[in-house]
Structures are given as structure tokens and as C-alpha cells.
Amino acid sequence: MNWWNIPAYRIKKFKKSSLITPIIVLFLITVLIGAVSVGCASLRSRQKSYDAEIEKYENLIAEEEARSQEISEYAMYTKTTAYYEEVAREKYRLVHDNEILFVTDK
């Protein structure tokens, strides 16, 4: 295409339309960048809430493991003679032959 054979009114029209296209493209790119940044911010806030929830559940797991350890220790204690003597004294008020039991009214 020879540019020197095109009439002047067509050249002006061509120049105007060539300016509009980059402006539209720039606007669309700006809108897309804005949408992506808003989505990224919402993902970050969700990630923070998920991290807090994970930490809460990890603390609960640690507490339950400690409780499980205490229960297993108590189960081992209940199999000893010291536990049987303690229950006999408290619940049934039994004593050894050489012990004296003092009972008070509550």
C-alpha cells in the first residue's frame, strides 16, 4: 500500500483510530491488573484465616496428646497396689492392722 496515494482525510481518520486502540488495550490491561490484585488480596486474607485455623487445630492436637499421655499414666497407676490401698481407704474406709482411722463429721 502506498501512503502517498491515500487522500488526506483518510490519513487523519487512520491516525485517530490508531490512537484509540492502544488506549482501549491499556484500559483493559489496567482493569485486568486491578481484578487480579483484588483476587490476590482476598486469597491472602483467606490464607491468614486458614493459618490461624491450622494453628488452633495443632494446639488442640497437642492438648489431646498430653491428655492421652495422662490417661495412659493413670491407667498404669490403677494397676498398682498403692491405688488399691488408696481406694480402700477413701471409698471403703479400710485400714491396715496397725493403723488408726479418725473419722470426723462433715
Decide if 85 contacts 91 (C-beta within 8 A): no
Phi-psi category of residue 93: left, alpha or beta, with phi > 0 → left and psi -120 to 50 → alpha: left
What pLDDT band is residue 17 in, cutting at 50, 70 and 90? low
Q: Which of 11-20, 59-68, 84-93 has the lowest mean pLDDT?
A: 11-20
Q: What is the pLDDT of residue 20?
A: 83
Distance CA 97, CA 70 (A): 33
The answer on pLDDT for 5 being more than 70 is no
Q: Is this model's pTM higher than 0.85 or not?
A: no
What pLDDT band is residue 98 in, cutting at 50, 70 and 90? confident
Question: pLDDT tens for residues 68-84?
Answer: 999 999 999 999 999 99
The Cα-based distances of 86 to 75, 76, 83 in angstroms read 15, 15, 5
The answer on pLDDT for 15 being more than 60 is no
